[in-house]
Copies of this chain bind each other. A is one copy, B any other.
Amino acid sequence: MTRAEAQSPSSTSKEPRTERGRRTLRRLLDAAAIEFGEKGFHEASITGITSRAGTALGTFYTYFDSKDEIFRALVQDLSNRVRVTAGQALVGEMSPLETERRALSAFLSFAREHKEIYRIIDESEFVDPASYRSHYESTARRILERLHRGAKQGAFREGLREEHAWAIMGMNVFLGLRYSIWSEGESVDEVAELANSILREGIAAG
């Protein structure tokens, strides 16, 4: 585990020990999201990040060794926030299909509020391929767990596999690109409902 991973707010070891430290780290990651989102990795700079965060340059180096390291921590952080956002939408009793609908709706809203997430995750394919891959592999794994849970409850059919999870993740990612990043003309709930109708009944004529 690298130092950046160890010190990410989402990790459990070697986190900042004080509340103040956690707040500073959060400010640096939020500033990095804006800096990398606006300028891209290559044009972004550590001083750009610290100036947005309102921290001294020395403070940056308390947490990260390099631009690469904060970028890696940021991808991990965004990946965690997507997971937490979907999880928070799932309160109370609901069917497994409803779970998928609400998770997508929450993701679409999150992407509208944090448009930089697409550019950053997409750029990680080039800047930090391991993080890119890990983000999608862990997201697909989570979806597959939900599919298997839903099948156990009798709500989803038997035999759902990794392929189905990747298909659903792809749907969600592209709906976010189109209806959260490129335009916001549609209601996120309606987009999520239309996608959910595919999971519910497919697209074949009844």
Contacts and interface: CB of A to CB of B under 8 A. Distances in A.
A191 B203 contact: no
A163 B182 contact: no
A203 B166 contact: no
Nearest to A151: B205
Interface of A: 40, 42, 97, 119, 122-123, 125-126, 133, 136, 140, 147, 150-151, 154-158, 160-161, 163-164, 166-175, 177-179, 182, 186, 191, 194-195, 197-206
A140, A163, A195: residue with the most chain B Cβ atoms closer than 10 Å: A163
Contact of A174 (B42, B173, B197, B198): B173
Contacts of A179: 163, 166
Contacts of A151: 205
A198 B191 contact: no
Contact of A182 (B119, B133, B171): B133
17 contacts: A123-B126, A140-B178, A155-B204, A157-B204, A157-B206, A158-B205, A163-B194, A163-B195, A166-B174, A166-B175, A167-B175, A170-B171, A170-B175, A198-B199, A199-B204, A201-B202, A202-B202
Contacts of A140: 178
Contacts of A172: 170
A174 B164 contact: no
Given A123-B126, A126-B40, A178 B202 contact: no
A201 B158 CA distance: 13
Contacts of A40: 126
Given A167-B195, A173-B174, 4 more contacts: A40-B126, A160-B203, A163-B179, A167-B194
Nearest to A163: B194
Given A126-B40, A171-B171, A198 B200 contact: no
B174 A186 contact: no
B164 A169 contact: no
A155 B205 contact: yes
